[in-house]
Amino acid sequence: MKYVHRVLEIEKNLKERSLFLFGPRQTGKSAFIKNELIKKADLYYSLLDQGLYLRLLSDPTFIRKEAAAKNLKKGFIIIDEIQKNPSLLDEVHFMIEEYGFRFLLTGSSARKLRFSGTNLLGGRARTRSFHPFVYPEIKDHPNFSLEHIFKTGLLPPHFLSSPHNNAVEEDLSAYVNTYLKEEIAAEGLARNLSGFARFLEVAAISNSNIINYSNIANDAHVPRQTVKLWFDILYDTLIAFELPVFRKTIKRKSIETSKLYLFDIGVTKTLRKLPQVAVESSDFGIFFEQYIFMELRAYIDYKKPQAELFYWRSQTGCEVDFILDSKIAIEVKSTTQIQDKHLKGLKAMQEEKLLERYIIISRDESYQKEKGIERMPWKLFLEKLWAGEIIA
């Protein structure tokens, strides 16, 4: 399978200090390292190598000894799958402090590291998230289309599969059953595997909707507090994201509850047991909104880590899908023809006079700007977003 260049730029960060890179399984972290970073590293260790894993488990100073044997000073070292041996972080900490080494440490999440009693290097390392494919990485790929994305999702092994390969459904099911239901449950806090599996399916139905813990608990047949705990696991492992509500409006008071988005469309579709999503269906609109969310979330994590993302909904029902960094209101509609009814939320937000820009994204192919609202084709929006023309 041909490697696809990723747009995450971390070399500048790594020249300044160490870095944690976290992301769910199969997002492509290991391939990214092997194809774009490994040649620049002085030492590389993958804890998926069982022999190396056992050696480092018995002797965490092995890396320091190897660096000394090669006469390395202030070098750059990569450790892949660091969560498999959290005790190594004490040695990493020592090598940073005493010798000035820089580390890239990758894993599926920081949760296991925190719960093992290990600190995350006391602020000596920055943290970045790794996402499934994003628009600039695949826009020229022959598989690129909304229909294909909504069938396979954007995890590299699934997206890159042939459009005629029916096994992708089986691969997605295997990912959900093996990774989400077993490995995430194995974090140690989801001992009720059958209950956790039900919870995941109910949570997927809540994708792009306001979170109602009580309803999800009732549908999954587990206590409400357990649902809250399991959501924390999903957030910590980057399987799901909580989108907070924008509360700065004055004329129309906002509600208080967050929304939920899962990290991949293919995983969402599989958990919901949906067939191919038909164009113009309500599910198509939901996945279109989720897709734009995924691009916004990845852009912030890759390019603008200090920026914030919200949604807005007033107590009277006016809603805007996304508020980007308290400056830009973004509404998402899967329609091919924008109508006045689609602008209700943006117009209500305009009346607050709080933001700088108002955009509605759709499958309409023409760009227009009228009364301060930009009607923008989805591809044009993503081009401008990743070119840095939406948020400076």
Q: What is the pLDDT of residue 43?
A: 96
Which residue range is the domain that position 90 belongs to?
A: 11-129
Judge if 171 and 268 occupy the same domain.
yes
Distance from C-alpha of 222 to C-alpha of 278, rounded to nearest angstrom:
33
Distance from C-alpha of 269 to C-alpha of 275, rounded to nearest angstrom:
8
Mean pLDDT in residue range 174-201: 76
| Residue written as token pair 């490994």 | 38
| Residue written as token pair 């939320």 | 345
Give the Å distances, CA to CA, from 7 to 37, 108, 117, 137, 168. Answer: 13, 19, 33, 7, 25
Amino acid in position 55: R
Q: What is the DSSP string of 340-357?
A: GGGGHHHHHHHHHT--SE
The verdict on residue 59 lying in a domain is yes
pLDDT at residue 163 greater than cutoff 90? no
pTM metric for this prediction: 0.94
336 close to 363: Cβ distance less than 8 angstroms? yes
Domain boundary among the residues 75, 96, 129 is at 129
Distance of CA 290 to the CA centre of its chain: 11
Judge if 351 and 238 occupy the same domain.
yes
Please report which confidence band the pLDDT of residue 116 belongs to, taking 50, 70 and 90 as the band edges. Answer: low
Judge if 372 and 235 occupy the same domain.
yes
Judge if 202 and 346 occupy the same domain.
yes
The phi and psi torsions of 106 (rounded to 5 degrees) equal -110, 155
Domain boundary among the residues 105, 129, 153 is at 129
228-249 residue pLDDT tens:
988 998 998 899 999 999 999 8
Judge if 316 and 382 occupy the same domain.
yes
C-beta contacts of 246-249 below 8 A and 24+ residues apart: 246/310, 246/311, 246/312, 246/320, 246/323, 246/326, 248/326, 248/352, 248/354, 249/312, 249/314, 249/349, 249/352, 249/354
Please report which confidence band the pLDDT of residue 112 belongs to, taking 50, 70 and 90 as the band edges. Answer: confident
| Of 100-114, 203-217, 283-297, 355-369, the least confident | 100-114
Q: Which residues does 192 contact at the CB level (< 8 Å), separation at least 6?
A: 222, 226
Of residues 72 and 121, more confidence is placed in 72
Distance of CA 264 to the CA centre of its chain: 8
Q: What is the pLDDT of residue 63?
A: 95
Distance from C-alpha of 52 to C-alpha of 62, rounded to nearest angstrom:
10
Mean pLDDT in residue range 118-147: 88
Mean pLDDT in residue range 345-360: 96
Please report which confidence band the pLDDT of residue 271 belongs to, taking 50, 70 and 90 as the band edges. Answer: very high
Q: What is the pLDDT of residue 178?
A: 83
Please report which confidence band the pLDDT of residue 188 belongs to, taking 50, 70 and 90 as the band edges. Answer: low
Q: What is the pLDDT of residue 120?
A: 65
The verdict on residue 1 lying in a domain is no
Number of domains, the chain: 2
Judge if 169 and 256 occupy the same domain.
yes
Looking at 73-160, list the stretches that DSSP marks H as alpha helix, in order from N- to C-terminal side: 88-99, 111-115, 135-138, 146-152, 156-159
> CA nearest 93: which of 113, 71, 70, 115?
113
Mean pLDDT in residue range 371-386: 98
Q: What is the pLDDT of residue 384?
A: 98
pLDDT above 90 coverage of the chain, percent? 72
Q: What is the pLDDT of residue 360?
A: 98
Greatest mean pLDDT among 16-25, 90-99, 351-360 lies in 351-360
pLDDT above 70 coverage of the chain, percent? 95
The verdict on residue 391 lying in a domain is no
Q: What is the pLDDT of residue 185?
A: 66
Domain boundary among the residues 129, 151, 181 is at 129
Judge if 319 and 215 occupy the same domain.
yes
115 close to 236: Cβ distance less than 8 angstroms? no
Judge if 276 and 149 occupy the same domain.
yes
Mean pLDDT in residue range 61-73: 93
The phi and psi torsions of 70 (rounded to 5 degrees) equal -95, 5
Please report which confidence band the pLDDT of residue 119 belongs to, taking 50, 70 and 90 as the band edges. Answer: low
Mean pLDDT in residue range 271-278: 88
> CA nearest 190: which of 342, 164, 182?
182
> CA nearest 359: which of 389, 328, 335?
328
The verdict on residue 346 lying in a domain is yes
Judge if 218 and 73 occupy the same domain.
no
Judge if 109 and 216 occupy the same domain.
no
The phi and psi torsions of 390 (rounded to 5 degrees) equal -95, -50
Q: What is the pLDDT of residue 49?
A: 94
140 close to 382: Cβ distance less than 8 angstroms? no
Please report which confidence band the pLDDT of residue 194 belongs to, taking 50, 70 and 90 as the band edges. Answer: confident
Q: Which residues does 78 contact at the CB level (< 8 Å), separation at least 6?
A: 33, 37, 38, 41, 43, 44, 45, 103, 104, 105, 106
Distance of CA 65 to the CA centre of its chain: 36
Please report which confidence band the pLDDT of residue 304 belongs to, taking 50, 70 and 90 as the band edges. Answer: very high
| Residue written as token pair 């906002």 | 254
